[in-house]
Amino acid sequence: MATVGHACLIFALGCSLYGVVASLVGARTGREALVRSGRRSLYALFGLAVIAFLITEFAFLTSDFHFTVVATHSSTTTPWYYRLAAMWSSQQGSLMLWLTLLAGWSSLCVVMLRGRLRDVAPYAVAVLLGFGAFFTAVMLFSASPFETVPVAPPEGVGLNPLLRHPSMMIHPIMLYSGYTLFTIPFAFAVGALVVRRVDAEWLRATRVYALGAWLALGTGIILGARWSYVELGWGGYWAWDPVENAALLPWLTGTAFLHSVKIQERRGMMKIWNASLVLATGTLAILGTFLVRSGVLDSIHAFVEEGNTVAWFFTTLIVVMIAGSVYLVITRRDNALKSESRLDSLLSRESAFLGNNLILVAITFVVLWGTFFPLISEALTGQKEAVGPPWFDQYTVPLVLILVLLSGIGPVIAWRRTSWSQLWRSMRLPAIVALLVAVGCVVFRPGNGDVAPLIMFVVGAFAIATSLQELWRGTRARQAMTGEGPLSAFRLLLARNRARYGGFIVHIGVAVLFIGIAASSSFQSVRDVRLGVGEQATVGGYTFNYVKPIAQIETAAGRLERITLGSQVRVTKEGKFVGNLYPNRGYYPAIGSTLGAVSTYFAGESVSEIGLKAGLTKDLWTAETPDISSLMPVVRRGDAVFAKASGQGLKPQARAVFLAAALSGLTTRYRNDPPPAQFRIIVSPIVFWIWLGAIIVFIGGVIAAWPSVGAVRDRVRARQAARVAQDLGRG
Partner 1 sequence: MSIIEPIIAIVILGLVIWFVGQPLRSRVAEQDDLRDDGRIADLRAARDAKYRQIRDLEMDYRTGKLSEQEWRSLDRELRGEAVEVLHELDQLVPPEQRDVAAPEPPAAPPASDPR
Q: Which of 17, 40, 58, 169 binds partner 1 (CB under 8 A)?
A: 40
Determine the 3-state secondary structure of 57 from DSSP: helix
Span of 42-50, 166-174, 454-462, 536-544 interacting with partner 1 by CB under 8 A:
42-50
Nearer residue to partner 1 within complex by CB, 42 or 361: 42
> Distance (Å, rounded) from C-alpha 154 to C-alpha 77?
12
CB of 486 to partner 1, least distance (A): 15
Residues 250-279 that bind partner 1 (CB under 8 A): 265-266
3-class secondary structure per residue, 87-128: HHHCHHHHHHHHHHHHHHHHHHHHHHHCCCCCCCHHHHHHHH
Which C-beta is closer to partner 1: that of 306 or that of 727? 727
Angle, nearest 10°, between helix axes 271-294 and 310-332? 180
- When the beta carbons of 266 and 570 are compared against partner 1, the nearer one is 266
- Strand locations in 491-583 (E): 525-531, 536-539, 542-556, 559-573, 576-581
| 484 is a contact residue toward partner 1 (CB under 8 A) | no
**Between residues 27 and 213, which has the closer beta carbon with respect to partner 1?**
27
- Binding to partner 1 by residue 711, rule CB under 8 A? no
Please give the residues from 330 up to 389 whose contact with partner 1 meets the rule CB under 8 A.
Answer: none
**Nearest approach, Cβ of residue 60 and partner 1 (Å):** 19
Smallest gap from Cβ 496 to partner 1, in A, equals 8
Hey, which residues between 510 and 549 contact partner 1 (CB under 8 A)? none
Q: Contact 225/238 with Cβ under 8 angstroms? A: yes
Taking the complex as a whole, the smallest distance from the CB of residue 517 to partner 1 amounts, in Å, to 30
The reply on whether position 727 binds partner 1 by CB under 8 A is yes
Write the secondary structure of 387-430 as one string of H (helix), E (strand) and C (coil): CCHHHHHHHHHHHHHHHHHHHHHHHHCCCCCCCHHHHHHHHHHH
Tell me how far apart the alpha carbons of residues 210 and 260 are, in angstroms, rounded to a whole number.
12
H helices of 608-709, in order, are 632-647, 652-672, 688-705
Stretch that binds partner 1, among 40-48, 133-141, 377-385, 623-631 (CB under 8 A): 40-48
Measured from the CB atom, is 7 or 300 closer to partner 1? 7
Question: Is residue 221 within 8 Å of 247, Cβ to Cβ?
Answer: yes
**Residue 491 in contact with partner 1, rule: CB under 8 A:** no
Nearer to partner 1, 208 or 687 (CB): 208
Return the range that interacts with partner 1 (CB under 8 A); candidates 214-222, 294-302, 358-366, 471-479.
Answer: 471-479
CA nearest neighbour of 703 among 512, 513, 504: 504
Count of residues engaged in binding partner 1, rule: CB under 8 A: 76
- Work out whether 708 is an interface residue with partner 1 (CB under 8 A): no
Q: Which residues contact 552 (CB under 8 A, 6 or more apart)?
A: 563, 564, 667
Compare residues 200 and 326 and give the one whose CB is closer to partner 1: 200
For partner 1, which residue of 20, 24, 34, 635 counts as binding (CB under 8 A)? 34
Which residue lies nearer to partner 1 by CB, 384 or 500? 500
Task: Candidates 330, 661, 709, 721: give the one binding partner 1 (CB under 8 A).
Answer: 721
Q: Which is nearer to partner 1, 201 or 605 (CB)?
A: 201
Q: Does 33 bind partner 1 (CB under 8 A)?
A: yes
Contacts 24+ apart (CB under 8 A), 18-23: 19/44, 19/45, 19/125, 19/126, 19/129, 19/132, 20/126, 20/129, 20/130, 20/133, 23/122, 23/123, 23/125, 23/126, 23/129
Tell me the closest approach of the beta carbon of residue 205 to partner 1, in angstroms: 9
Site for partner 1 in 409-468 (CB under 8 A): 412-419, 422-423, 425-426
Question: Using an 8 Å Cβ cutoff, are 386 and 298 in contact?
Answer: yes
558 binds partner 1 (CB under 8 A): no
For 370, phi and psi rounded to 5 degrees? -65, -40
Residue 156: alpha-carbon gap to chain centroid: 29
Q: Which of 35, 208, 263, 494 binds partner 1 (CB under 8 A)?
A: 35
Nearest CA to 496 out of 701, 708, 265, 698 is that of 708
The alpha carbon of residue 131 and the mean position of all alpha carbons in its chain are separated, in whole angstroms, by 21
Q: Which of 342, 83, 287 is nearest to 175 (CA)?
A: 287
Count of CB atoms within 10 A of residue 140's CB? 15
Q: Which of 13, 27, 59, 607 binds partner 1 (CB under 8 A)?
A: 27
Given 142, 160, 377, 497, the residue binding partner 1 (CB under 8 A):
497
Measured from the CB atom, is 323 or 716 closer to partner 1? 716
In whole angstroms, how close is the CB of 641 to partner 1 at the nearest point? 45
Q: Which is nearer to partner 1, 32 or 554 (CB)?
A: 32
Closer of 3 and 617 to partner 1 (Cβ): 3
Q: Give min distance, CB of 416 to partner 1, in A.
A: 6
Pairwise CA distance, residues 95 & 13, whole Å: 14
The reply to whether 44 sits near partner 1 by the rule CB under 8 A is: yes
Find out whether 128 and 106 touch, Cβ atoms under 8 Å.
Answer: yes
State which of residues 483, 558, 710, 731 lies at the interface with partner 1 (CB under 8 A).
731
307 binds partner 1 (CB under 8 A): no
Q: How far apart are CA 407 and CA 129, in angstroms?
A: 38
* Binds partner 1 by CB under 8 A, chosen from 17, 386, 387, 476: 476
Rank residues 269 and 569 by Cβ distance to partner 1 and give the closer one: 269
CB of 118 to partner 1, least distance (A): 6
Sequence-ordered list of residues with C-beta below 8 angstroms from that of 594, at least 6 positions apart, any chain = none
Least distance between partner 1 and beta carbon 504 (Å): 11
Question: Of 652 and 731, which CB lies nearer to partner 1 in the complex structure?
Answer: 731
Q: How far is the CB of 530 from partner 1 (least distance, A)?
A: 58
Q: Is 11 in the site for partner 1 (CB under 8 A)?
A: yes
Helices 486-496 and 710-730 cross at an angle (nearest 10°) of: 80
Residue choice 20, 48, 287, 464 for contact with partner 1 (CB under 8 A): 48
CB of 237 or CB of 501, closer to partner 1: 501
CA distance 622 to 544: 9
* HSE-CB of 244 using CA atoms within 13 angstroms: 19
Q: Which of 184, 188, 47, 44 is nearest to 116 (CA)?
A: 188
Q: Minimum distance from CB of 62 to partner 1 (Å)?
A: 16
Q: Which of residues 184-223 bind partner 1 (CB under 8 A)?
A: 195, 197, 199-201, 204
- Closer CB to partner 1, 122 or 700, in the complex: 122
In whole angstroms, how close is the CB of 327 to partner 1 at the nearest point? Answer: 22
The one-letter amino acid code at 681 reads I
Q: Does 481 bind partner 1 (CB under 8 A)?
A: yes
Interface stretch with partner 1, choices 39-47, 214-222, 300-308, 526-534 (CB under 8 A): 39-47
Cα-based angle 325, 327, 330 (whole degrees, multiple of 5): 105
Strands 584-587 and 611-614: unpaired
Q: Which is nearer to partner 1, 125 or 162 (CB)?
A: 125
Within 97-136, the residues that bind partner 1 by CB under 8 A are 116-120, 122
Instruction: Among 155, 231, 470, 609, indicate the residue that binds partner 1 (CB under 8 A).
Output: 470
Q: Are 61 and 76 in contact (CB under 8 A)?
A: no
- Name residue 623's amino acid: A
* Whole-angstrom distance, CA of residue 491 vs CA of residue 475: 9
Indicate the residue among 145 and 626 with the shorter CB distance to partner 1: 145
